[in-house]
Structure 1
């Protein structure tokens, strides 16, 4: 089992979805509290945040593969995945889970006590996710929650250096981080609803409660477009979004996502196109938010 196999097992390319929002959470906290922490502290914080984020992402995927191995075996699209095909043993998968959990907890421990204690929240969310699809089509929103913890977690990790538990209890996260995280939830749900189109027949046979297996093609398209409009609204009403760069970026990427969703039947490879546009969304928003100038008091102008 080599590095290439491990990277394939955890779908490392999907990290491109969560990483920009981890950095967005960090940038928001940096701009808000830049006058209350040393630049050296901010510099080292990003290292530990990235280690924790990589660990969280790897843990989420590994747990999903372990818990869903029976479902994967019954699906022609996923029957060749590592645990199903025997390319990776369960012992190896559990070992990887322990390593990724260790990365998450170590990174959080290096940050502060609040980050370490709160690191168990995503672990719980990750464990629950594979079971949600067995009971409700709202599983797509739970997956969105998994990724919404990326900006929220990075922001809390930095802010807790200044305010401790007050970073959470005193609502410093509202409205910016709240609406960005809610937007991420809806964005991922919109993407995942379309991604699940590939498994409609298999999901129906296996009793998996995906949105496309429960509702019509038209309803799937309509709902994913509505969710895209909602995530744009979330980004637009968040406090730093009065800056033209972020608002323009959110509008552009929501329009591109909607255009791809609507043109599904005309595209030669709808899933690949949607994946690339969705992945690009986070990075475009990150660049835009980095262009927002903090004011002299550390808050956004």
Structure 2
């Protein structure tokens, strides 16, 4: 029995590592912010119901699990050849391809069930969301703008959460979708700098490969400047009170710090920029904008 428990725990840990479960912190706060805005400005309620929040979280985690596993399946041959990724579970055979396909299918089914439990429009759009999520895994094979496709995969989440609460979409949420898309796209450009040599050998596309690391860093910086401007536009469009604007200022400062960590000739602190800072950005965004919704009249 003890052996079985340890084996089961090992499988769970391996799967969580495969899908980078801890990175759910990047998208989930933006989705929850979309839900808070929808409840207050779309439905005239103070807060979403506990039931709605739970199903939104289930949908987000399952969608991300399906997308990440599909990405691992699609890239397994590249992961085996890339020194940075050759120790991933599928690349080493720790997790089988058949198990990964089954896990992807199960995660997709959970997403559809969660959408069904939210409302009809969410259910009808769930296959579209899955199609976009699965498409990303192949974009590096034909476009250098795969970074923006990845960004859109997370950028959909605030709009999806609004739909989950209100059963319709407010056009203003497209501003937040664009902001999240550029935020994720920008830090994915940064992250891709460390794979420049491999992308050249493998014939994959990326912004660093096309423009070089120095210009790629400038492009990422430009994406993040536009992101901050979009957040300001969104706050103004909802007439949000001061906590939202304080949150934007904090996010801008964190983005500036993130870019100060990465230089064309020194990428050693890239993981700190990618993981720690972006985790703080998403969580603080939810905190400040949640406070803004709470005190709004």
| C-alpha spacing 1:210/1:34, structure 2 compared with 1 (3 Å) | same
Matches within 5 A, 1:143-182: 143-160=150-167, 167-168=168-169, 173-175=170-172, 177-182=173-178
- Alignment check: 8 A CA contact 1:221 1:262 kept: no
Displacement of 1:294 in angstroms is 6.4
What's the C-alpha RMSD, in Å, of the aligned pairs? 2.0
**C-alpha distance in 2, partners of 1:63/1:270?**
25
Note if 1:99 corresponds to 2:96.
no
- Alignment check: 8 A CA contact 1:48 1:107 kept: yes
1:164 aligns with none
TM-score, normalised via structure 1 length: 0.89
Q: Which residues of structure 2 form unaligned runs of 5+?
A: 1-9
Matched residue SS, 1:149: helix
1:134 aligns with 141
Matches within 5 A, 1:145-294: 145-160=152-167, 167-168=168-169, 173-175=170-172, 177-238=173-234, 239-240=237-238, 242-265=240-263, 269-293=269-293
1:15 aligns with 24
**C-alpha distance in 1, partners of 2:96/2:102?**
10
**C-alpha distance in 2, partners of 1:216/1:231?**
23
1:163 aligns with none
Displacement of 1:100 in angstroms is 0.6
**C-alpha distance in 1, partners of 2:232/2:292?**
14
| C-alpha spacing 1:263/1:78, structure 2 compared with 1 (3 Å) | closer
Matched residue SS, 1:137: coil
Displacement of 1:81 in angstroms is 1.2
- Alignment partner for residue 2 of structure 1, among 2, 11, 24? 11
**C-alpha distance in 1, partners of 2:80/2:274?**
26
**C-alpha distance in 1, partners of 2:202/2:28?**
32
| C-alpha spacing 1:293/1:116, structure 2 compared with 1 (3 Å) | closer
**C-alpha distance in 2, partners of 1:252/1:202?**
35
State the Cα deviation string for residues 114-164 of structure 1 (Å, max 9, x = none): 11111112100011111111111110000000001111111101111xxxx
**C-alpha distance in 1, partners of 2:232/2:252?**
11
Matched residue SS, 1:65: helix
- Alignment check: 8 A CA contact 2:190 2:220 kept: yes
**C-alpha distance in 2, partners of 1:206/1:267?**
21
Matches within 5 A, 1:113-132: 113-132=120-139
**C-alpha distance in 2, partners of 1:90/1:268?**
32
**C-alpha distance in 2, partners of 1:178/1:256?**
23
TM-score, normalised via structure 2 length: 0.90
**C-alpha distance in 2, partners of 1:145/1:267?**
25
Displacement of 1:24 in angstroms is 0.7
- Alignment partner for residue 83 of structure 1, among 75, 90, 111? 90
**C-alpha distance in 2, partners of 1:87/1:74?**
16
